[in-house]
Amino acid sequence: MRLVRVALVLAAGLLLAACGGHRTKPAHRDGHSRTSPSSPSRTSGDDRFEDDLSKPQGSRYRDGEDSVPPPLDVSKLVEPVPKVEPRSLYGNKSPYSVRGKSYRVLPSARGYDERGIASFYGNKFHGYKTSSLETYDMYAFSAASTTLPLPSYARVTNLETGKSVIVRVNDRGPFHDNRLIDLSYAAAVKIGIWPKGTGLVEVQGIDPSRPGKELPLAPVVTGSHPGIYLQIGAFADADNADRLAQRLRQANLGAVQVTDAVINGQRVRRVRVGPLASVDRADQVSSRIEGMGLPRPQVAVD
């Protein structure tokens, strides 16, 4: 019996050493990054599956396309309460690269306030590992961000309806061009992004280390429809801005604006196309601008 106990102790020690000394590289797919070793079989509903990150992304998931269950009653779901948490050992490498683009992870969510386009993800990824090695639950209020630390908290507000939700950020993504944040299915339903698929949002970081100031107020929505703009460049030289604006007008992409702005204390001329009627139109115009040999434009929501 003593020999059995000794063998068990040695085996446990080897397992801990292996866990502490080995970390797999991120695997990228469909706008998300997953960083974890192969995990054991898990049960999702009545289906049993294995989340094996060593497999190619095309064969890792049971479903080829994402989908969502029937309409969800989110009134009974409780939003997460922001709290101070240690940074995850996984998913916080900075900088990191996905599809040739580099990203930097912020030191904290404090002061983060961005507007952009939100999307969401559902059944295909439910029960699989997120970048922080947590299990994705589409019925929890969570989200994926390319830059916010894992885990962190944020308030996400639908700028068209004023509805907001607090989410816990525990995943990387979306890496689809022109997207700011990927919401869980529940969070998307909560603020009205589902079933449309995308929406214009403001994402405000939450700092739980500051009692009484950790929850930012949701932005006031006046009822006016926010506009989607594509910023192609910002120039200190006004002539360069005017030349680019003329080229964009000749391409007949939509209204072209040249406005003054101050960036890092320097006055510049900002060139933007918009407002654009929809997210789909913004995606189309972005592709056309890239086809002209210009850099991929940045999305701005005003």
pLDDT digits (tens, 9 = 90+) for 166-199: 999 999 999 988 999 999 999 999 999 988 899 9
Mean pLDDT of the chain: 82
Task: Report whether 106 contacts 112 (CB < 8 A).
Answer: yes
What are the tokens at 144?
Answer: 């994926």
Q: Using CB atoms within 10 A of its CB, is residue 288 exposed (0-12), middle (13-18) or buried (19+)?
A: middle
* CA atoms of 145 and 124, how far apart (whole Å): 18
d(CA 164, CA 245): 36
Whether the Cβ atoms of residue 141 and residue 166 lie closer than 8 Å to each other: yes
d(CA 106, CA 46): 39
Q: How many CB atoms lie within 10 A of CB 269?
A: 20
Q: Tell me the pTM.
A: 0.80
Confidence of residue 89 (pLDDT cuts 50, 70, 90): very high
Over residues 269-286, mean pLDDT: 95
Q: Is the pLDDT assigned to residue 35 strictly greater than 60? A: no
> What DSSP character marks residue 61?
S
Assess contact for 52 and 62: CB atoms under 8 A: no
- The answer to whether the beta carbons of residues 30 and 172 sit under 8 Å apart is no
Q: How far apart are CA 262 and CA 269, in angstroms?
A: 9
Give the lowest-confidence range in 34-48, 150-164, 173-187.
Answer: 34-48
With beta carbons less than 8 A apart as the criterion, state whether 101 and 31 touch. Answer: no
Q: Is the peptide bond before 80 cis (omega within 30 degrees of 0)?
A: no
Average pLDDT over residues 57-71: 67
Which three-class secondary structure state does DSSP give residue 156?
A: strand
Q: Give the least confident one: 1-5, 89-93, 103-107, 244-248.
A: 1-5
Instruction: Tell me, rounded to whole angstroms, the distance of Cα 156 from its chain centroid.
Output: 11
If one counts every other C-beta atom within 10 angstroms of the C-beta of residue 99, the result is 9
To the nearest 10°, the Cα dihedral for 289, 294, 297, 302? -70
Sign, CA dihedral 292-286-250-232, equals negative
Amino acid letter for position 28? H
